[in-house]
Amino acid sequence: MTTPTRVLVLNSGSSSVKYQLLDMRDASRLAVGLVERIGESSSRVAHTPLEGGGAERRERTAPIADHAAALKAVAEELARDGLGLDSPELAAIGHRVVHGGLRFTEPTVVTEEVLAEIERLVPVAPLHNPANLTGIRTAQALRPDLPQVAVFDTAFHTTMPEAASRYAIDVETADAHRIRRYGFHGTSHAYVSRATAELLGRDPSEVNVIVLHLGNGASASAVSGGRCVETSMGLTPLEGLVMGTRSGDIDPAVIFHLQRVAGMSADEIDTLLNKRSGLVGLCGDNDMREIHRRIGEGDPAARLAFDIYVHRLKKYIGAYYAVLGRVDAVAFTAGVGENAAPVRAAAVAGLEELGLAVDAGLNAERSEGARLISPGYARVAVAVVPTDEEREIARQTFALAGGEVNA
Ligand SMILES: Nc1ncnc2c1ncn2[C@@H]1O[C@H](COP(=O)(O)OP(=O)(O)O)[C@@H](O)[C@H]1O
Ligand SMILES: CC(=O)OP(=O)(O)O
Ligand SMILES: [Mg+2]
């Protein structure tokens, strides 16, 4: 029998599951897909078979009640292309797990004890860890013989110095409740900071990079010589930048004020800040494409939402510049970072004195891979670097499952 070389990666979010099936002999993708709007009446399943598959992209809407049903839909889609989970070519299943606390600094083979620890962290990642757990348990039930590997969003940030990772609150209280800054999107920050060094033709150990991961959730990180020294998310993925539906930084007293004066409960405020704030709270839309369109029509609420988003981003670029002392590159990634040229231009506008500038022509271009968008004279490279959390999770999963990774 040949050695299995395929890895299935599951990235379970609060209301979606993204997946990729890869062949780790060359890290090529055999299929990619997405189940979104889980729990709504019109969930969408989009499945694209790739290399050698020969089959067409398929899309359908159907009510998918929960993550377990979503995983079943994923298994069915793969099976239709002869890529089912029963395949003997599958070597392992890799899972993105958002919160790993302080304990998980490396990819980890899932055991009952690991599951219990991920469960214990649910209160600090309520939108994410429950979905991750369901993904793992469902995959285990389908393939109990395979290693299930958890790759943690928090792992890359465990190198942050205490000056960055501690909050300035009473130490005993903080320690008793493990309150500190953990940071998230670490797989993406690690991958993109390395890819940026590669784009510059330099070793990651030599370069300082500010990574701006701007998806639905958004975070910034300062990476020095390949190690994370600061990041914008904290105890939970709520701190930092303005996001699609999350507020990012606010004065914590806003919460007490809402409790005491507006009579809101802790759960109501949690929902307000996580789901009804950010871009959606400011203008009713969390999709940057829609915001661009409305700005084009002269819509003042969309304009203000954009300005607040970019203002916060610029503050973080300045802050991380100061933290790093010397910056070699600023890298934009994820849905907004990779696609929204106006966000990139506005975030860097006026920072010429810091050596930062964007070339309008390069910024407006559309292309697949990593690319520079700064003019030749700029001291600091500004780059668009597509992230690929799934491929990175596959690489780490396969390595842990004993495979030789060539790509
Ligand atoms: N062409 C585009 N122009 C501007 N923004 C875009 C474009 N495509 C995607 N986006 C933004 O990217 C977001 C999704 O980013 P993504 O990284 O896929 O998020 P997540 O992984 O958190 O679901 C969308 O909500 C939208 O705001
Ligand atoms: C941690 C986090 O915010 O993840 P996402 O962007 O997938 O919501
Ligand atoms: Mg994402």
Instruction: Quote the longest CA-to-CA distance of the chain.
Output: 68
Residues 287-344: tens digit of each pLDDT: 999 999 999 999 999 999 999 999 999 999 999 999 999 999 999 999 999 999 999 9
Q: How many whole angstroms from its chain centre is CA 186?
A: 7
Q: Which ligand lies nearest the alpha carbon of 332?
A: 1
Cα–Cα distances (Å) from 266 to 191, 237, 246, 256, 360, in that order, read: 36, 17, 16, 9, 45
- The one-character DSSP state at 395 is H
Q: CA-to-CA distance for 327 and 392, rounded, in angstroms? A: 25
- Please check if 214 is assigned to a binding site: yes
- The one-character DSSP state at 136 is H
Residues 92-125: tens digit of each pLDDT: 999 999 999 999 999 999 999 999 999 999 998 9
Number of H helices, E strands in the chain: 15, 14
Q: What is the mean pLDDT of residues 157-167?
A: 97
Q: Which ligand lies nearest the alpha carbon of 13?
A: 2
Helix (H, G, I), strand (E, B) or coil at 142: helix
Of the residues 19, 157, 185, which should be mutated to test ligand 2's pocket, given the most ligand atoms within 8 Å of the CB? 185
The model carries a pTM of: 0.94
- Please check if 249 is assigned to a binding site: no
HEC string of 144-183?
CCCCEEEEECCHHHHHCCHHHHCCCCCHHHHHHCCCCCCC
Q: CA-to-CA distance for 76 and 65, rounded, in angstroms? A: 16
Q: What is the mean pLDDT of residues 209-230?
A: 97
- Is-contact 36 16, C-beta < 8 A? yes
State the distance from the centre of ligand 3 to the C-alpha of 144, rounded, in angstroms: 28
- Please check if 274 is assigned to a binding site: no
Band of residue 37 on the pLDDT scale cut at 50, 70, 90: confident
**Structural domains in the chain, sorted by start:** 6-152 (3.30.420.40), 201-389 (3.30.420.40)
State the distance from the centre of ligand 2 to the C-alpha of 217, rounded, in angstroms: 4
Beta bridge partners of 96: 151
Name residues contacting ligand 1 (CB within 6 A). 215-217, 244, 286-289, 334-336, 339-340
State the distance from the centre of ligand 1 to the C-alpha of 289, rounded, in angstroms: 8
Residues tagged active-site: 153
Q: CA-to-CA distance for 333 and 339, rounded, in angstroms? A: 8
Residue having the nearest C-alpha atom to atom 8 of ligand 2 = 217
Q: What is the mean pLDDT of residues 141-150?
A: 95
Residues 234-257: tens digit of each pLDDT: 999 999 999 999 999 999 999 999
